[in-house]
């Protein structure tokens, strides 16, 4: 059988359009995205050829959460194989998800719950990703309509909920006020309690200025994250399971395992050193500059920072399902707007569609031309494919890490200037001053 999947201101010329017009880029992006998702929905055979299978039921991942909530209400162990789930999957997340049961929702409400999650995700995308020209619209539709995003939609994976919750933080941070900062912090805290990897979203508070406000919010965010993680740590261990490289997965360990390196601690350290060193070189050479400057379109810096932090954290942590690529949508506006002045941004604009679509090309090729190979032959083809394509993902992560490094260094420099101003700058007495 074929290889299958697992159970926005431009520097270029642009025609200015009214934001309220029917032909505005934003409305075209919404319409184009919905049409592409509808086309995916109505084409099960095409989905199967590209490695996207629904296993006879949509919204399988929201179903497992509701089934776990039902099991917990009946007094069953949520960490054991769940008799209420279609595939008897155990619960892999924190007990916070059992709040669905307290709202009276059961697995019988799965279509409603999964549908709400999908709609919340799409609403979050359309509120936080705002294209400004038609070419950007086409590029964004290509990203949002990609197989990893469609896989998350088909399964109503709870990463869609995390995306929607963190989108609330991004929207709150567009205006600098105390209550909005509190709202953003609450949203990040909720996401951390639901799935621990959103701890990386706290990186967005490094954008705050003046430095005193940045330090206070980073410190408060650290305290909130530590408190929440401590309270759910034993529950979060449920999600630490070994995942083998498959179609539509991502993670630094994939390539390292294929190169013969084994052992999770070893591969993590090697990945951290390689990625950190390469990113430091990118910063030193000036390849990943620009994110620390405040000349971007409103909201795009926050989205870029949060999307980059989430993807890099997940990439380093372990092998993840391809759902995590939904956060690449937050990279898009900033990258597109800086592609003319940043070679790294220009490279990523070209790389993102390739990264999000390349596994589908392999599935299509094996479906059309090699439908009757033995399993070991498919495994060999997939290994060669990973060896050839994983460097593209590594390059993208190096650039993203470089931008995050630059942002952290800019924050550190601003803090030093705030608390240790140079002599003679008007904030203190110069050493050269006379008595």
- Domain map of the chain by residue range? 25-418
Tell me if 121 sits within 8 A of 128, measured CB to CB.
no
What's the maximum distance between 2 C-alpha atoms anywhere in the chain? 90
- Classified as helix, coil or strand, 425 is coil
How far apart, in whole angstroms, are the C-alpha atoms of residue 116 and residue 96?
A: 18
Of 342, 213, 205, 353, which is closest to residue 282 (Cα–Cα)? 342
How far apart, in whole angstroms, are the C-alpha atoms of residue 34 and residue 145?
A: 9
- The pTM score is 0.91
The two three-digit tokens of residue 127, written as one number: 């509120």
- Classified as helix, coil or strand, 373 is coil
Tell me the sheet residues that pair with 250: 320
How far apart, in whole angstroms, are the C-alpha atoms of residue 330 and residue 28?
A: 18
pLDDT tens track of the chain, all 435 residues?
444 444 433 344 344 444 456 669 999 999 999 999 999 999 999 999 999 988 888 999 999 999 999 999 998 988 889 999 989 988 888 999 999 999 999 999 999 999 999 999 999 999 999 999 999 999 999 999 999 999 999 999 999 999 999 999 999 998 888 899 999 999 999 999 999 899 999 999 999 989 999 999 999 999 999 999 999 888 877 766 677 888 999 999 999 999 988 877 888 999 999 999 999 999 999 999 888 877 656 579 999 999 999 999 999 988 889 999 999 999 999 999 999 889 999 999 999 999 999 999 999 999 888 888 888 888 999 999 999 999 999 999 999 999 999 999 999 999 999 888 876 554 443 333 333
């Amino acid at each position: 059988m074929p290889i299958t999947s697992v159970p926005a201101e431009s520097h270029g010329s642009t025609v200015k359009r009214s934001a309220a017009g029917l032909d505005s880029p934003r409305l075209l992006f919404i319409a184009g995205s919905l049409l592409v998702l509808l086309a995916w929905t109505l084409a099960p055979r095409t989905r199967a050829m590209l490695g996207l299978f629904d296993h006879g039921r949509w919204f399988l991942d929201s179903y497992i959460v509701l089934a776990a909530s039902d099991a917990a209400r009946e007094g069953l162990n949520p960490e054991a194989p769940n008799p209420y789930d279609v595939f008897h999957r155990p619960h892999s997340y924190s007990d916070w998800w059992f709040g669905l049961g307290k709202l009276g929702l059961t697995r019988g409400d799965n279509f409603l719950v999964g549908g709400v999650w999908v709609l919340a995700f799409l609403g979050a995308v359309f509120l936080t990703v705002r294209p400004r020209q038609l070419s950007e619209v086409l590029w964004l539709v290509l990203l949002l309509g990609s197989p990893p995003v469609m896989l998350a939609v088909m399964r109503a994976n709870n990463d869609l909920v995390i995306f929607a919750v963190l989108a609330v933080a991004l929207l709150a941070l567009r205006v600098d006020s105390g209550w909005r900062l509190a709202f953003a912090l609450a949203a990040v805290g909720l996401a951390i309690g639901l799935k621990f990897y959103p701890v990386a979203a706290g990186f967005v508070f490094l954008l705050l200025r003046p430095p005193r406000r940045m330090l206070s919010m980073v410190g408060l965010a650290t305290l909130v994250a530590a408190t929440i993680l401590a309270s759910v740590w034993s529950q979060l261990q449920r999600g630490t399971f070994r995942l083998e490289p498959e179609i539509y997965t991502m993670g630094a360990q994939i390539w390292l395992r294929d190169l013969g390196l084994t052992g999770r601690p070893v591969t993590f350290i090697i990945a951290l050193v390689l990625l950190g060193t390469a990113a430091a070189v990118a910063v030193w050479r000036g390849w990943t500059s620009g994110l620390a400057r405040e000349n971007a379109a409103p909201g795009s810096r926050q989205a870029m920072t949060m999307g980059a932090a989430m993807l890099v954290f997940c990439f380093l942590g372990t092998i993840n399902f391809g759902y995590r690529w939904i956060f690449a949508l937050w990279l898009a506006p900033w990258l597109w707007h800086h592609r003319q002045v940043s070679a790294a941004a220009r490279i990523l604009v070209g790389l993102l569609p390739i990264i999000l679509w390349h596994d589908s090309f392999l599935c299509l090729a094996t479906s059309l031309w090699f439908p009757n190979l033995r399993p070991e032959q498919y495994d060999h083809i997939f290994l060669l494919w990973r060896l050839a394509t994983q460097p593209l993902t590594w390059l993208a992560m190096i650039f993203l890490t470089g931008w995050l490094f630059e942002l952290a260094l800019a924050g550190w420099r601003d803090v030093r200037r705030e608390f240790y101003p140079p002599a003679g700058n008007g904030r203190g007495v110069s050493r050269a001053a006379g008595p």
